[in-house]
Amino acid sequence: MTITLNSPLDMHLHLRDGEMLKTVAPLSSHSFAGAIIMPNLVPPITSIEALLEYKSRILSSTCRDRFEPLMTLFFRDDYSYEFLKEAKKEISALKLYPSGITTNSEGGVSSMDIEGLRDVFEAMSELEIPLLVHGETNGFVMDREKEFVSVYEQFAKNFPRLKIVMEHITTKESAELLGRYENLYATITLHHLYITLDDVAGGLLRPHLFCKPIAKRAEDRDALLDLALSAHPKVMFGSDSAPHPIDKKESCGCAAGVFTAPIALQALASLFEKNDNLQNLQAFVSENAREIYGCEPLSKEVTLEKTPFLVPDSYGGVVPMFAGEELDWSIKSVS
Ligand code: DOR
Ligand code: ZN
């Protein structure tokens, strides 16, 4: 059995910089036609100059493949309309992090009070720049995303022309919210379709499955599965593949992030096939994103086949999800 995907897109990807970029970027560019690149470097990407330099480093690291990095700027509440108008030519979106909520987000927004965000949100609405949000409060870890629902509602109601993407949703409440506001969309990761908190911490602690937002309950995962498997038109695949060196994961202060880029399409094919929904995979990994972002990806055909694939223990010192395990789908060819 095979399936050919046309221009798969990863709408939420961490590529890092320096040596890590050189290690991980080709693993995405091999099988994806493009990706939304997260700006949480140190320091974060907040200027057009830094963004263009980063983009050119990404392009050099992926030069053997046809791959388009779709760049984002790190959200700041003091960006001017003129700045955003210039930035618009180079970016696909702005990414908003609540301050300190996850890896390298210290420079994020400290209050979600819309009065402080109004000017930038209005400019983004006017310029048609999408807002991508890491939607968690700093409350109890299992409740952080649920508590952010009221913030999403405020944003969606007050700025109806602003396209808002709830990034890496993990709860049934977020899944329900999608249907309530026309201008809300979402990305879903691979790992949140597979795991619950039990897989992370129910037995021996599994640091390579630790991420933010943390995986939740089975009923939450099932709500995400319903959306993904039916390729709900407001939902896109965004891996949130977030590589960290092995010593930062297997450590007493484990960094958050699951590295899935090189195994994502194989594991998605397996999941969609097992659930008799292989026909919806194309929409989930490409069509919906094109529609939502209004983008036309580079052409790339990725053929997957139902042949075992032994996932390597590590890719250059970064441990992927399913390391050492066998997936039943593999990549046959890319053209
Ligand atoms: O688990 C995560 N890792 N969640 C994020 O939001 C950020 C990411 C990272 O950059 O490592
Ligand atoms: Zn992320």
Question: What domains are defined for the chain?
Answer: 2-334 (3.20.20.140)
Which residue carries 């001017």 as its tokens?
80
Q: How far is the CA of 211 from the centre of ligand 1 (A)?
A: 6
What are the angstrom distances between the C-alpha of 101 and each of 37, 222, 303, 307?
18, 25, 38, 40
Index of the ligand 1 atom closest to the CA of residue 210: 1
Closest-approaching ligand to the CA atom of 258: 1
Q: Which residues line ligand 1 (CB under 6 A)?
A: 14, 40, 102-103, 134, 211-212, 242, 256-257
Q: Residue 299 has what DSSP assignment?
A: P
Which residue carries 């990863």 as its tokens?
10
Give catalytic residue positions. Answer: 240
As to burial, measured by CB atoms within 10 angstroms (0-12 exposed, 13-18 middle, 19+ buried), residue 1 is exposed
| Ligand 1 pocket test target in 74, 101, 103 with most atoms within 8 Å of CB | 103
Residue 234, pLDDT above cutoff 90:
yes
pTM greater than 0.95 (yes/no): yes
Q: How far is the CA of 135 from the centre of ligand 2 (A)?
A: 11
Asked whether the bond before 43 is cis by omega within 30 degrees of 0, the reply is: yes
Q: How far is the CA of 1 from the centre of ligand 2 (A)?
A: 33
Residue 207, pLDDT above cutoff 90:
yes
d(CA 117, CA 96): 11
As to burial, measured by CB atoms within 10 angstroms (0-12 exposed, 13-18 middle, 19+ buried), residue 182 is exposed
Which residue carries 């809300």 as its tokens?
184
Q: What is the pLDDT of residues 58-104, one digit of tens each?
A: 999 999 999 999 999 999 999 999 999 999 999 999 999 999 988 89
d(CA 172, CA 166): 13
As to burial, measured by CB atoms within 10 angstroms (0-12 exposed, 13-18 middle, 19+ buried), residue 247 is exposed
**% of the chain at pLDDT higher than 70:** 100
